[in-house]
């Protein structure tokens, strides 16, 4: 890549006010660095990944409303986690976390257990139970 070809496309880096560093060659073939505001192919890839996550969040939300899963799954998706990551944050086995997805099990959870989830998601137990409604 030539220094003057380092892409300067619009991207979400703008919101944090920083440009990333790329390596490129100058007109004499010497390696140098140049800042980039973004490159469209990766901005699109990131946008699609975020959309995918948003779909998962919406899907989890509608399943909570239908009584098919507990708000824990919704908040897990909201925090871009999977069962493995959530399990390591709350300190339970994965099968136990999955069990807590069952609305019937969730209803009977102790405040102590609920609090572990609430702390990880940085919300109150009430918010966890009501899914922020």
Partner 1 sequence: MKPETIINFTHHQSAHCENGVVSNLMKHNGFSVSEPMVFGIGSGLLFCYIPLLKVNHAPVITYRALPGHIFKKFAKRTGVKMKREKFSNPKDAKARLDENLAKNNPVGLQVGVYNLLYFPDEYRFHFNAHNMVVYGKQDDRYLISDPVMEDVTSLSEKELEKVRFAKGAFAPKGHMYYPISFPEKLELEKAIVKGIKDTCKAMLAPVSYVGVKGIHKIAGLIRKWPKKKGVKTANHYLGQVVRMQEEIGTGGGGFRYIYAAFLQEAGKLLGNEKLIELSKEMTEIGDLWRDFALEASRIYKNRSAQTDSYNKVADQLDHIADLEKVFFKKLKKAV
For residue 111, state whether it binds partner 1 (rule: CB under 8 A): no
Q: How far apart are CA 37 and CA 118, in angstroms?
A: 37
Near partner 1 by CB under 8 A, which window of 57-65, 68-76, 77-85, 103-111?
A: 77-85
Q: H or E segment at 23?
A: strand 20-25
Q: How far apart are CA 32 and CA 55, in angstroms?
A: 41
Q: How far apart are CA 39 and CA 62, in angstroms?
A: 35
Quote the least distance from Cβ 108 to partner 1, whole Å. 26
For residue 94, state whether it binds partner 1 (rule: CB under 8 A): no
Show Cβ contacts of residue 96 under 8 Å, excluding neighbours closer than 6 positions.
87
For residue 35, state whether it binds partner 1 (rule: CB under 8 A): yes
Q: Measured from the CB atom, is 35 or 130 closer to partner 1?
A: 35
Residues that bind partner 1 (CB under 8 A): 1, 6, 12-13, 15-16, 18-25, 29-31, 33, 35-36, 39-42, 44-46, 48-50, 52-53, 79-82, 84-85, 88-89
């Amino acid at each position: 890549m030539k220094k003057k070809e380092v892409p300067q496309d619009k991207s979400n880096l703008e919101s944090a006010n920083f440009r990333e560093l790329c390596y490129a060659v100058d007109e004499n073939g010497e390696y140098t660095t140049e800042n980039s505001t973004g490159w469209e192919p990766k901005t699109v890839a990131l946008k699609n990944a975020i959309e995918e996550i948003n779909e998962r969040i919406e899907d989890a939300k509608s399943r909570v409303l239908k009584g098919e899963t507990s708000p824990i799954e919704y908040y897990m998706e909201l925090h871009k986690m999977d069962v493995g990551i959530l399990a390591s944050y709350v300190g339970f086995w994965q099968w136990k976390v999955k069990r807590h997805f069952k609305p019937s099990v969730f209803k009977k959870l102790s405040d102590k257990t609920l609090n572990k989830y609430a702390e990880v998601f940085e919300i109150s137990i009430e918010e966890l139970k009501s899914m922020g409604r």
